[in-house]
Amino acid sequence: MKSALFLCMALALPLAASAADSTPDESFYKKAAEGGLAEVELGKLAQEKSSNSSVQEFGSMMVSDHAAANEKLKTIAASKNVKLPTRPSIGQMATKTKLKTLSGDTFDDSYIKGMIKDHEEDIKEFQKEASSGQDPDAKAFAAATLPTLKAHLKKIQEIASAQGVNAS
């Protein structure tokens, strides 16, 4: 039992050390990368599963806009030797798995609510980075991406209103 505990602790140490070594700006890069990847995957899912043309178009916009932002982020991170995740977080993958099981209005309602929540959170994170980040490139990326995130939030809120989806 002691050896199993020791092994778990020994394996956890590198993770704790790497997390401690990460700056707030590096954390922003990594979280933004995971979020961008998730938006692309969920956008593709919306294009496939939704029968609502507004939701499908929004999904298409997510794929193109977030794929472009992801490429810019990769370039910036590479110039700083920051290794970005190559897939969404476990929580984001769980959301995708849940959405895959839904169909019709249930899918649309869940997707719309999720996109509103995600974009509200993203806007807060990007505003924080743009105003108080230490890395000028991270700050510039956050500031340049904010108008697109705000436009996405406005668009998905309009879709929610038109569909009678209560996003609160």
Residue 51 contacts residue 104 (beta carbons within 8 Å): yes
pLDDT (tens digit per residue) in 96-148: 999 999 999 999 999 999 999 999 999 999 999 999 999 999 999 999 999 99
Band of the pLDDT at 22, cuts 50, 70, 90? Answer: confident
Whole-number pLDDT of residue 27: 94
Distance in angstroms (rounded) separating the CA atoms of residues 148 and 138: 16
Residue 108 contacts residue 47 (beta carbons within 8 Å): no
Q: What is the pTM of this model?
A: 0.84
Residue 13 predicted with pLDDT over 60: no
Distance in angstroms (rounded) separating the CA atoms of residues 160 and 156: 6
Residue 28 contacts residue 136 (beta carbons within 8 Å): no
Q: How many CB atoms lie within 10 A of CB 3?
A: 7
pLDDT (tens digit per residue) in 39-95: 999 999 999 999 999 999 999 999 999 999 999 999 999 999 999 999 999 999 999
E-only strand ranges, 46-152: none
In three state form, how does the secondary structure of 17-40 look?
HHHHHCCHHHHHHHHHHHHHHHHH
Cα three-residue angle 133-139-142, rounded to 5 degrees: 115
